[in-house]
Structure 1
């Protein structure tokens, strides 16, 4: 079997509900999935024995259509599975509502230029053995209702463990990337249960310590709604009793089954994804020791072609040793600016073809692209349209992108608000909102804009990786001090802060600071002192890209979590 070459050594199993590897494979919705893909790519580069486990999501997340008023219409987003994946000859079963559900797997192999390879398993229930309702369980990422999500998480956690076992993998550690896969701990508990030694007793010992020794958990969200919770009566009806209810409640919470608590209580190592997120997580979940391993991005994936050529010339070896970015000072200013303008022209041409917006190459371009949801405050920049128009005076153009979850009405209204303001001030400021934000579009945006804007409500940005991608292309950040930016920010040197470290998020105060810095610091520098602007671009590379990459992040996981 094609999988056999990967079963010869013990591996770290990395479980994630979404893993984004290529734009053409619609197996991700945003940051969580892209991070998972970047993690496994760095593992391949560093020749670390890992294996990814996820669901196949045959119909993707959704394809976004936006009408003239910015109303979002969702469409299925299927992709050519057989073009990228190899079907494996393996089938296991999980039990859902007292019925067997058959799970098979497809294989994708991440291959690195270093010779490293990391297999990724995509679990699939769309096979003839299953009833129609079960065949669709692996169709939609974050689709359906609460019960659909619960069934998906049974397939991922329990089905994933059984597939690995059936294929003959020896697993050193199970790394849960968020709580979606926490049911794998229950399957491990089943594996390690044993009778109480007294002959007369039929009670079992559930060896939680053995399970903890095998498990690592990364939490990504400081937003309470981001932690999956299920009523116990629904869990019992759908999943049955894998472990006794008293034990499940002890591990996952009394009121409802909390997937994050389940993962926490059965993991030896727990981490947040930035130093600030560690603090926030410990307040959300008091009593747990939570570490910080700040996220990164896969450098080679997110560096644009003009910058790849530039780095190859002046920073040879950068792709597998991103620490070399610290030497970015040696790149000549003119060549750095020329690489940026190549990336910018590529973006502007793409946007103009897509929208007919007639953006131009020389205007200061702000990029804002992420999931459209109220706490990310995409409308902060346009909160005072008149003030923005006065500041801009034809010197600013803005590119927005991002999907709202189909059930997030607040996020959908946010997009409509941007469309409304776009029309109102179109004679003063060119604003575009690109539909169907994905990896391919993100690659163009993070490299081609002049500044990357991020202004969520604090403290809800656990890490944020889009700004790291921008820094890899010499694009400075303008961001609130939350998540990774607290660690990467040096005011006026690697970029700019909105607000202060001490202050909480106040929309009026944040908007005032944003407008002030644009008007008095950023625009004058960009238009009147290109020499200093390019120095800031170099600093973004040398002081941000060198550290905020998944090579550094994966090494931390190895030394702090995997070999404990």
Structure 2
């Protein structure tokens, strides 16, 4: 059925559209952009993920400003085709059957990528096992490990059952690391008997098949499971003493397992590669900086502008270097069109009317402490004083993980500030952040703000999306922005130069002071009094950032450096 040799791309979450809510944030959307670029570039790839029938969660905000969560119920049959083949894995000694749904990404170039969504909601399974693929990142450690068994082990078995010939298995973060054990079992050489200690494990054969991309230096992003739980869930799939050599002595570390059984390992920005080497000494870790799918993340008004002045941009985003050819007046009118679309969206969602002539800052991402969504408000008195030089509108959006109390506290803090009735600054929080809303935001604001604690932002991609729409970045020097930033040319930095290579303590006050200084003395005056210079920076954002920070460039590098090696 599938005679062509392919790359198998495994990701716990994949974000392709609002209609298929199988993503929580940047990791999933990056996976979606990866797949779309592979279709455009005709890279032979098949993707594997979980169906997440109850989604991540639907976010609401209660009367006190706190986040509440509820399931998102959606019907896969409306968007994809169920495959008749089933495979089986053992979980807690029980047979758990897995079916798959097929969703095809088709490009106008003629390329096509099949995305397989694994699903345990089948009649043969117990009611408990039918829920394994229900909630993305839900439940306790046991639930998460069961999901990773289905993704890693079940995913490899499904590809085999469907007749795929796989050249490389690309693990997008450590959630799929158990696929290495399935490959080990397939590649073992049986010396005497199936369960004899003298098995000879062909580690090199497995390493040669595996590519691993790590996405975060934050501890919460590296799954670890106790060996008691591993034994309970997995049984004796691999002898314990062997598993400890591969995944760690104290607990099964999914990142370590992937590191030990992958020939090619990379971080997602140059700085992240350096930080990852420091976190995991002794491992060769490369860096391929992330990118975004240009056509997906360019709003309609800018698509029309680029079609007029940069024909071919969608499949050759390197042509964005020609942004200088766009007349200033047309660029500005196109931006105002995107801004008015956002303002209409905000009014419909919140009944609050924003002013298209006021400097508008956007901040939207996962709400977790290290991203410091509230840094802008560290000194509210100073911020209001700055706003006397020019009014400000700030739009926020994003979700906190249901178990992230500090992240939820920041959302409440922002929503408390929303209630401030002030003619100098207007603050908006848009609930239930999703792909559709993201496109409105990254194209409709004037400035894109990012304030993570250095060096915890592995890459970040929202600022790349903003640049595709001429929106200017104002960000901490971390992740991709270290590479994309030229002070005053492509945007502005916040705080000191990025000298850290480990997770050191960051001074909020120092960063906030620089943020306030540049907002007061550079950004507000330029926006209100020097439109020619503002448009020049907008053009640089397109011509010096979007041309490079796109997923077409990213995937060409994966092909030549990881897949063909």
**Contact 1:272-1:294 within 8 A present in 2 as well:** yes
Deviations 1:218-248 (A, max 9, x none): 0001101210000001000111111111111
Q: Does structure 1 residue 484 correspond to structure 2 residue 480?
A: yes
- Identify which range, 66-75 or 146-155, moves more after superposition: 66-75
Q: 1:429 aligns with which of 416, 425, 432?
A: 425
**Contact 1:357-1:430 within 8 A present in 2 as well:** no
Q: Does structure 1 residue 474 correspond to structure 2 residue 470?
A: yes
SS in 2 for 1:194: coil
Question: 1:387 maps to what in 2?
Answer: 382
Question: How far, CA to CA, are the matches of 2:483 and 2:396 in structure 1?
Answer: 25
Question: 1:371 maps to what in 2?
Answer: 366
CA offset at residue 426 of structure 1? 3.6
**Contact 2:223-2:254 within 8 A present in 1 as well:** yes
SS in 1 for 2:487: coil
In the superposition, the TM-score normalised over structure 2's length comes to 0.97
Deviations 1:101-123 (A, max 9, x none): 00000000000010000000000
Question: How far, CA to CA, are the matches of 1:389 and 1:70 in structure 2?
Answer: 22
Question: 2:10 maps to what in 1?
Answer: 15
Question: How far, CA to CA, are the matches of 1:291 and 1:175 in structure 2?
Answer: 15
CA offset at residue 382 of structure 1? 1.1
CA offset at residue 427 of structure 1? 4.1
**Contact 1:17-1:180 within 8 A present in 2 as well:** yes
Question: 1:552 maps to what in 2?
Answer: 553
Change (3 A) 1:425 1:501: farther
**Contact 2:496-2:511 within 8 A present in 1 as well:** no
Deviations 1:106-157 (A, max 9, x none): 0000000100000000000001111000000101000011100000000000
CA offset at residue 428 of structure 1? 3.1
Question: 1:275 maps to what in 2?
Answer: 270
In the superposition, the TM-score normalised over structure 1's length comes to 0.97
Question: 2:503 maps to what in 1?
Answer: none
Question: How far, CA to CA, are the matches of 1:265 and 1:468 in structure 2?
Answer: 32
Question: How far, CA to CA, are the matches of 1:53 and 1:12 in structure 2?
Answer: 11
Deviations 1:180-224 (A, max 9, x none): 00000000000011123899x862111010000000000001101
**Contact 2:3-2:163 within 8 A present in 1 as well:** no
Question: How far, CA to CA, are the matches of 2:90 and 2:65 in structure 1?
Answer: 42
Question: 1:561 maps to what in 2?
Answer: 562
**Contact 1:298-1:551 within 8 A present in 2 as well:** yes
Q: Does structure 1 residue 350 correspond to structure 2 residue 351?
A: no
Unaligned runs of 5+ in 2: 501-505
Q: Does structure 1 residue 232 correspond to structure 2 residue 233?
A: no
Runs of 4+ in 1 over 4 A off after TM superposition: none
Q: 1:56 aligns with which of 51, 54, 78?
A: 51
Question: 2:434 maps to what in 1?
Answer: 438
Question: How far, CA to CA, are the matches of 2:324 and 2:496 in structure 1?
Answer: 29
Deviations 1:87-107 (A, max 9, x none): 001100000000000000000
Q: Does structure 1 residue 205 correspond to structure 2 residue 200?
A: yes
Question: 2:260 maps to what in 1?
Answer: 265
Question: 1:138 maps to what in 2?
Answer: 133
**Contact 1:94-1:101 within 8 A present in 2 as well:** yes
Question: 1:412 maps to what in 2?
Answer: 408
**Contact 1:385-1:425 within 8 A present in 2 as well:** no
Question: 1:193 maps to what in 2?
Answer: 188
SS in 1 for 2:377: coil
Question: How far, CA to CA, are the matches of 2:65 and 2:253 in structure 1?
Answer: 35
Question: 2:453 maps to what in 1?
Answer: 457
Q: 2:497 aligns with which of 493, 501, 525?
A: 501
Question: How far, CA to CA, are the matches of 1:221 and 1:338 in structure 2?
Answer: 38
Question: 1:536 maps to what in 2?
Answer: 537
Q: Give the root-mean-square deviation of aligned CA atoms.
A: 1.3
CA offset at residue 506 of structure 1? 1.1
Question: How far, CA to CA, are the matches of 2:193 and 2:63 in structure 1?
Answer: 73
- Identify which range, 473-482 or 73-82, moves more after superposition: 73-82
Question: How far, CA to CA, are the matches of 1:80 and 1:365 in structure 2?
Answer: 37
Question: How far, CA to CA, are the matches of 1:446 and 1:195 in structure 2?
Answer: 55
**Contact 2:475-2:494 within 8 A present in 1 as well:** yes
Q: Does structure 1 residue 402 correspond to structure 2 residue 403?
A: no
Question: How far, CA to CA, are the matches of 1:425 and 1:375 in structure 2?
Answer: 28
